């Protein structure tokens, strides 16, 4: 395990959907592992730090009045991380 493994394990992306995106958005920002999010049509792309557990996040959201209709987890690829670093350095 070295710098590449650390880079890849720093964050995960979840795609979430619920009937009421505003309520979902209000709830996700309360997550302890919350980093950022963006809305894409009828889904929210949630970026969280560390290793995530979709069941725990779903339970947290349910406790905050949100019933998710869709949850999927995506890992950041090395290429995605590299492109984000390039984008940040050019800003």
Residues 32-46 pLDDT 10s: 999 999 999 999 999
Q: Which of 4-8, 21-25, 66-70 has the lowest mean pLDDT?
A: 4-8
Over residues 20-25, mean pLDDT: 95
Provide the CATH topology of domain 11-90. Alpha-Beta Plaits (3.30.70)
Note the pLDDT of residue 77: 61
Residue 54 pLDDT exceeds 70 = yes
Residue reference for tokens 């725990």: 56
pTM of the predicted protein model: 0.71
Q: Where do the DSSP E strands lie in 1-91? A: 11-18, 34-40, 43-49, 68-75
User: What residue ranges do the domains of the chain occupy?
Assistant: 11-90
């Amino acid at each position: 395990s070295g710098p590449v493994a650390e880079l890849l394990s720093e964050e995960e992306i979840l795609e979430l959907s619920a009937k009421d995106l505003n309520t979902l958005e209000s709830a996700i920002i309360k997550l302890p592992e919350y980093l950022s999010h963006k809305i894409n049509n009828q889904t929210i792309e949630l970026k969280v730090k560390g290793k995530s557990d979709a069941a725990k996040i779903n339970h947290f959201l349910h406790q905050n009045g949100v019933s998710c209709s869709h949850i999927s987890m995506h890992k950041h690829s090395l290429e995605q991380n590299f492109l984000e670093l390039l984008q940040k350095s050019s800003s």
